[in-house]
Amino acid sequence: MTDIIQLLPDHVANQIAAGEVVQRPASVVKELLENAIDADASEIKLIIKDAGKTLVQVIDNGKGMSVTDARLSFERHATSKISSAEDLFSLHTKGFRGEALASIAAIAHVELKTKRPDDELGTALEIEGSDVKSQEVTVTPAGTSVAVKHLFFNIPARRNFLKSDTVELRHITDEFHRVALAHPNIAFAFYHNGSQLFDLPSENYRQRVVHIFGTKTNEKLVPVNEDTEVLKISGFVGKPEYSKKTRSEQFFFVNNRFVKSPYLNHAISAAFEGLLKDGYHPSYFLNLTVDPKSIDINIHPTKTEIKFDDEHTLYAILRSAVKHSLGQFNIAPVLDFEHQSNLNTPYNYKNKSAMAPAIEVDRGFNPFANDGTQHNKNQQSFKKAPSASWESLYVGLESKGNNTPQDFGEMTFESQAETKSIFNGDSALETKKTTFQLQQKYIVSTLKSGMLIIDQNRAHQRILYENFLRHITIKEATSQQLLFPLQLHFTPNETNIISQLKADLEHTGFVFYELSKKEVKITGVPVGVPESEVSIILEQLISDVENDVPDANFSSADLLSKSMAKSLAIKNGQALNSTEQEHIVDSLFACKEPNVSPTNRPTFITLGVDDIEKKFM
C-alpha cells in the first residue's frame, strides 16, 4: 500500500491556523491593535467599514519595520517577542505566537505600509491569500498601517457564518473597549463607515472608563486598591444600585491583558453578596498585576484564558479587597467601633472643667393638698386648673323617646353601596369565580373536556407582543406624557442603536425630546408603561439587538415588539386577582397565535377528564 500521510501545503496550513485565530472581524481588530501596542505606539487609529467585512485598518505611530521585517512578519511562527521556550513564562508583550498576520493574510487581502522613524522611505506590501502580489518602496509616515480587506474572500462558507453588521460591530466594539481600557496612556480613535464612534485621549484610568461608558459612570465607581506580595489590585467596581442585567461592564486585566476568568468573577460576586437583586450583575474594571512566571497565557489561541499557579490565594485577596472597598466607602453595611464624631467635646469647651448641675427643689410642695394654697410664694404652683365636668359633653343629646328601640330608625350609618345583580337575583346566573392562580405562576381554568393551565408570563408576553406589533404596523399608538423629561445616559454605541430604532419606538408610543451621543431625553412613553421601567426596557432592547435576538432575518419591528413584551410582561411569582386572571385568559385566546409565546414556547396545556381519571386508576 502507498503512504497516505503527507505534509499540508503552507496556504492550507495557514487557513487552518486562521480558523483558530480569526473567527470574525473582531479577531482581526484584536490582533492588529495588540501589534500596534507592542510597537510602542502612542496614538492608534481604528477604521472599520461594513462592520469589518469590507475593511479593517489600524494605523499607529510606533517604531515601524524594516524591509526584511515587513516581509518576515507574514511568515508562520515569525516573531520578535520570544526566542526560546523559557520566554513563554516571562511575557510582557501581547502577540508572541507569530501566527496572527500569517493567518489573516491567508484569508483576506492585506495592504501593509510601514516606516521606521530614522528611515527616509518606507515599505508597501500587498498580499492576497498568502500570495505576495507586490513589494515596493513608498512614502509613508513613521509607524505602520495595516489594511485588511474582504475578509474570508476565499472561504465563502466562513463568510456566511458571520452575523449581521450590528452584531459584528458590537464584537469589534467589545475588543476595542478591552484594549483601550488596558492602556489608558495611549490615545485611541475609532471610525465606522466614516463616522467617529470614539476619540480617547491619553488619560488616567478613571477618565478612560468614563469616556468609554459615559459621564454618568463617574458617580458609579468605587476605587479598589490592594498591594500584596502575591497580587496587586487597582481599578474600580460599580455601586450595587447601578448593577445591570447583562455582564457588559465586567473587565479583568492581568498584566495589562484582558482575560476571562469565571473563578475570579465568582470572587467579585461573593463580595457583592446580599447587595444585588436577583438577576443583576456587578460592574468592575480591575487590573491585576502578578509575576509573569506564575501564570500561563498560552492555553488558548486567542489568549483570553489564563491559568494561575495559586488561584485560591488570588480568590481570597480579590474578594477581601472588593469587600473592603465597599465598606470603606459606606456602600455596604459594616461594624464601626470608632468613636462617633458627634460625641466629641466641642472646641469651645475643651479647656473648661466639669461643673455639677444645680437642682432647686420645692421641699414643701404636696401634690395631694386640696386647699390650693401655695407653700412657697416664690415657686410656681403645679396644681392643674380644674377642667369642665364630663357631664357637659352630653348637653343637648337628651333622648326624645325614652331610649325606645324605635329611636334608632332615625340614625344613619356609612356603608358601601350594594351592587345588585343585573339578572334580578337569579342565582343560576350569578357571577362565579372561574379561574384561580397556582403557585403565583399558573392560571388554572375549567373546560368542558377538562382543565386548562396557562403560564401567566408567557401568555402575557404573547398578548403584549401582538399589541406592540399591531401599533408599529398601523402607526397609531397612544402615548402618555411625562410631567418632566426622563433623562437617560448610554454609551455612544448604545445611543447609536436607539437612533436606528427611533422610528419604530415612536410608533409604539415613545416620544423623544433629544437624542445625542451620550444622552437620551424622553417626554412620552406608551400607555401602561411605568416611568421606572423605561430604562430597563431600553437596556433589554439594546442587549437583544447587540446579541442578534431573535435573528437578523427578522424585522426591527418584530425584534422591538418581542423585547418590549419580554420586559413588560408580568413575572412569575406575581399575585393576580380574579379580574386580572380572567383578563389574561380572554386576551390570550383573542390573539392570532395563542398557543405559543413570542419565543415559540407553549403558553398553555390542557388536561382532559380522561387524563385525570387515569391518575386515580
Q: What is the pLDDT of residues 333-344, one digit of tens each?
A: 555 555 555 666
513-555: pLDDT as tens digits: 888 777 888 888 887 778 888 888 888 788 777 766 544 445 6
Question: Is the confidence at residue 431, as pLDDT, over 50?
Answer: no
| In a shared domain, residues 162 and 294 | no
Query: What local confidence, expressed as pLDDT, does residue 29 receive?
Result: 93
Domain end point (choices 145, 175, 200): 200
Please indicate, yes or no, if residue 431 is contained in any of the structural domains: no
Query: What local confidence, expressed as pLDDT, does residue 462 receive?
Result: 92
| In a shared domain, residues 257 and 307 | yes
| In a shared domain, residues 478 and 582 | yes
Query: What local confidence, expressed as pLDDT, does residue 233 receive?
Result: 92
With bands split at pLDDT 50, 70 and 90, how would you rate the model's confidence at 41? Answer: very high
Q: Which residue has the cell 454609551?
A: 491
- Measuring CA to CA, which residue among 371, 276, 289, 267 is closest to residue 331? 276
Please indicate, yes or no, if residue 489 is contained in any of the structural domains: yes
378-407: pLDDT as tens digits: 555 455 555 556 666 666 665 555 555 555
* Its pTM surpasses 0.85: no
pLDDT above 90 as % of the chain? 20
- Three-state SS at 287: strand
493-503: pLDDT as tens digits: 788 888 888 88
| In a shared domain, residues 502 and 576 | yes
With bands split at pLDDT 50, 70 and 90, how would you rate the model's confidence at 110? Answer: very high
Least confident interval from 104-108, 238-242, 304-308, 508-512: 304-308
| In a shared domain, residues 192 and 265 | no
Q: Which residue has the higher pLDDT, 402 or 78?
A: 78
Question: Is the confidence at residue 187, as pLDDT, over 90?
Answer: yes
279-310: pLDDT as tens digits: 788 899 999 988 888 777 665 556 677 777 78
Question: Is the confidence at residue 115, as pLDDT, over 90?
Answer: yes
138-168: pLDDT as tens digits: 999 999 999 999 988 888 888 888 888 888 8
Query: What local confidence, expressed as pLDDT, does residue 609 receive?
Result: 86
Question: Is the confidence at residue 505, as pLDDT, over 50?
Answer: yes
| Integer Cα distance of 26 and 171 in angstroms | 6
Averaged confidence pLDDT in the chain = 79
Query: What local confidence, expressed as pLDDT, does residue 545 receive?
Result: 76
| Integer Cα distance of 243 and 274 in angstroms | 13
* Residues 6+ positions from 268 with CB-CB distance below 8 Å: 237, 250, 282, 284, 286, 318, 319, 322
With bands split at pLDDT 50, 70 and 90, how would you rate the model's confidence at 229? Answer: confident
Burial of 47 (0-12, 13-18, 19+ CB in 10 A): middle
| Integer Cα distance of 404 and 57 in angstroms | 102
Please indicate, yes or no, if residue 35 is contained in any of the structural domains: yes
| In a shared domain, residues 456 and 591 | yes
Query: What local confidence, expressed as pLDDT, does residue 430 receive?
Result: 40
Query: What local confidence, expressed as pLDDT, does residue 341 receive?
Result: 59
Consecutive H or E run containing 608: strand 604-608
Please indicate, yes or no, if residue 560 is contained in any of the structural domains: yes
Structural domain including 260 reads 215-328
Query: What local confidence, expressed as pLDDT, does residue 302 receive?
Result: 60
191-201: average pLDDT: 90
Checking DSSP bridges between strand 284-289 and strand 435-438, what pairing results, if any?
unpaired
Query: What local confidence, expressed as pLDDT, does residue 45 receive?
Result: 94
Please indicate, yes or no, if residue 411 is contained in any of the structural domains: no
Please indicate, yes or no, if residue 231 is contained in any of the structural domains: yes
DSSP letters, 555-582, are -HHHHHHHHHHHHHSPPTT----HHHHH
Question: Is the confidence at residue 468, as pLDDT, over 80?
Answer: yes
| In a shared domain, residues 464 and 320 | no
- Three-state SS at 238: strand
- Measuring CA to CA, which residue among 39, 38, 92, 95 is closest to residue 64? 39
| In a shared domain, residues 168 and 280 | no
Burial of 40 (0-12, 13-18, 19+ CB in 10 A): exposed
* Residues 6+ positions from 564 with CB-CB distance below 8 Å: 464, 468, 508, 537, 541
Q: Which residue has the higher pLDDT, 415 or 512?
A: 512
239-282: pLDDT as tens digits: 888 888 778 888 999 888 888 888 888 999 899 888 888 878 88
Look up the CATH number of the domain holding residue 150. 3.30.565.10
How far does CA 560 lie from the centroid of its chain? 18
| In a shared domain, residues 174 and 287 | no
Domain end point (choices 328, 363, 397): 328
Q: How many domains does the chain have?
A: 3
| In a shared domain, residues 182 and 67 | yes
What the block records as the C-alpha cell of 268 is: 467579585
| In a shared domain, residues 195 and 126 | yes
Question: Is the confidence at residue 427, as pLDDT, over 70?
Answer: no
| In a shared domain, residues 515 and 589 | yes
Of the spans 16-20, 136-140, 371-375, 405-409, which averages the highest pLDDT?
A: 136-140
Domain end point (choices 200, 228, 248): 200
Please indicate, yes or no, if residue 108 is contained in any of the structural domains: yes
Least confident interval from 99-108, 141-150, 249-258, 361-370: 361-370
Query: What local confidence, expressed as pLDDT, does residue 47 receive?
Result: 95
Please indicate, yes or no, if residue 355 is contained in any of the structural domains: no
Look up the CATH number of the domain holding residue 290. 3.30.230.10
185-210: average pLDDT: 91
Look up the CATH number of the domain holding residue 537. 3.30.1370.100
